[in-house]
């Protein structure tokens, strides 16, 4: 261990952020710094831009290089890890570089990469990270102010027709989550017209905009985007999130609003989200899954 790493470990250990793509890792890093900690960034190669992290101590490592990750934990005195941001590319078997502690798990790792859903891969990654010497904690434990509150987030509220779309979207998102596929659904006129897959929320919104433009989905009815945690999701990774780009996509798709799971979904750049939604006449609400159970 370096003298810097030993000093930090003596003070109780350092927080590392394993950063994928998107805006969320930056929000988390700035929030951690604002509360007086100095986070170490492990930027995932081919997912995060190294140039974004020049103001932080950081390194760029491959997603499956647990040998280098474990060495970084040791050298930097890291005892806690937050997983943040999207990962668009699954590691391939040739990307896996295990430590001696994780070597015996390689066969099960390869099986999970081939046939497991997103949650299964994330759970496997967290197990390997913890075997490498650090404890994985959730984003919501570090920046709880990013969590959606119950009720309206902004000036507008859904109509009765919108609430029927929310109910349909919740039922669809629940079913989708049980298959470990995605977290989002779009309902228009009480009918589910799109489910989130590997392409992500923004691409799903673009698809609905195209369907409306082609007349395959009614452009007269607006619709709602719903994003929920998967029913069995480990809350330490991949919480559903929305931000200004989500609002822009919903507006382009002609939607009436966005519903996210209260207390289990993240609202990034909240002030910008509220301003953009209010300006566009779009509602954003936090919903309790239990409020809609059995009604969709």
pLDDT tens column, 60-86: 998 778 888 889 999 999 999 999 988
Identify whether residues 151 and 80 lie together within a single domain.
no
Identify whether residues 156 and 271 lie together within a single domain.
yes
Are the C-beta atoms of residues 289 and 172 closer than 8 Å to each other? no
pLDDT band at 129 (very low <50, low <70, confident <90, very high): confident
Q: How far is residue 293's CA from residue 296's CA, in Å, rounded to a whole number?
A: 7
Identify whether residues 98 and 194 lie together within a single domain.
no
Q: How far does Cα 171 stand from its chain's mean position? A: 20
Residue 281 lies in a domain: yes
pLDDT at 5 (0 to 100):
39
- State pLDDT tens for residues 205-221: 999 999 999 999 988 89
Q: Bridge-partner residues for 261, per DSSP?
A: 287
Identify whether residues 96 and 113 lie together within a single domain.
yes
Domain count, the chain: 2
pLDDT at 10 (0 to 100):
40
pTM of the model: 0.82
pLDDT band at 119 (very low <50, low <70, confident <90, very high): low
Residue 69 lies in a domain: yes
Identify whether residues 122 and 210 lie together within a single domain.
no
Average pLDDT over residues 262-280: 96
Give the residue numbers spanning the domain of 80.
Answer: 14-142
Average pLDDT over residues 2-25: 69
Choose one of 142, 161, 182: the last residue of a domain: 142
Average pLDDT over residues 86-97: 66
Angle between helices 244-252 and 201-213 (to 10 degrees): 10
Residue ranges in the chain assigned as alpha helix (H): 3-10, 24-34, 66-76, 106-115, 118-131, 139-142, 160-178, 201-213, 244-252, 270-280
Identify whether residues 102 and 153 lie together within a single domain.
no
Average pLDDT over residues 109-128: 66
CATH of the domain at 270: 3.40.140.80
pLDDT band at 87 (very low <50, low <70, confident <90, very high): confident
Q: Of 66, 123, 59, 64, which is closest to residue 90 (Cα–Cα)?
A: 64
CATH of the domain at 43: 3.40.50.20
């Amino acid at each position: 261990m370096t003298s810097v790493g030993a000093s930090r470990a003596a003070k109780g250990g350092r927080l590392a952020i394993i950063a994928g793509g998107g805006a969320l890792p930056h929000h988390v890093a700035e929030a951690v710094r604002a509360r007086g900690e100095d986070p170490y960034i492990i930027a995932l190669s081919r997912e995060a831009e190294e140039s974004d992290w020049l103001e932080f101590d950081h390194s760029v490592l491959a997603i499956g290089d647990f040998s280098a990750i474990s060495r970084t934990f040791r050298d930097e005195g890291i005892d806690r890890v937050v997983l943040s941001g999207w990962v668009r590319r699954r590691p391939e078997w040739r990307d896996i570089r295990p430590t001696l502690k994780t070597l015996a798990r390689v066969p099960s790792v390869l099986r999970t990469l081939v046939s497991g859903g997103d949650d299964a891969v994330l759970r496997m990654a967290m197990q390997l990270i913890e075997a490498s010497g650090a404890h994985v904690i959730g984003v919501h434990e570090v920046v709880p102010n990013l969590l959606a509150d119950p009720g309206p987030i902004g000036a507008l509220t859904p109509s009765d027709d919108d609430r029927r779309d929310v109910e349909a979207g919740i039922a669809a998102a629940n079913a989708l989550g049980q298959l470990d596929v995605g977290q989002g659904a779009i309902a228009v006129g009480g009918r589910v017209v799109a489910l989130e897959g590997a392409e992500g929320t923004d691409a799903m919104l673009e698809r609905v905009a195209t369907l409306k433009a082609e007349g395959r989905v009614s452009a007269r009815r607006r619709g709602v985007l719903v994003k929920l945690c998967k029913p069995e999701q480990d809350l330490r990774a991949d919480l559903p999130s929305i931000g200004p780009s989500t609002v822009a996509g919903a507006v382009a798709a002609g939607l009436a609003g966005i519903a996210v799971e209260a207390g289990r979904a993240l609202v990034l750049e909240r002030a910008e989200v509220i301003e953009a939604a209010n300006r566009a006449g779009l509602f954003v609400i936090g919903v309790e899954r239990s409020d809609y159970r059995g009604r969709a």
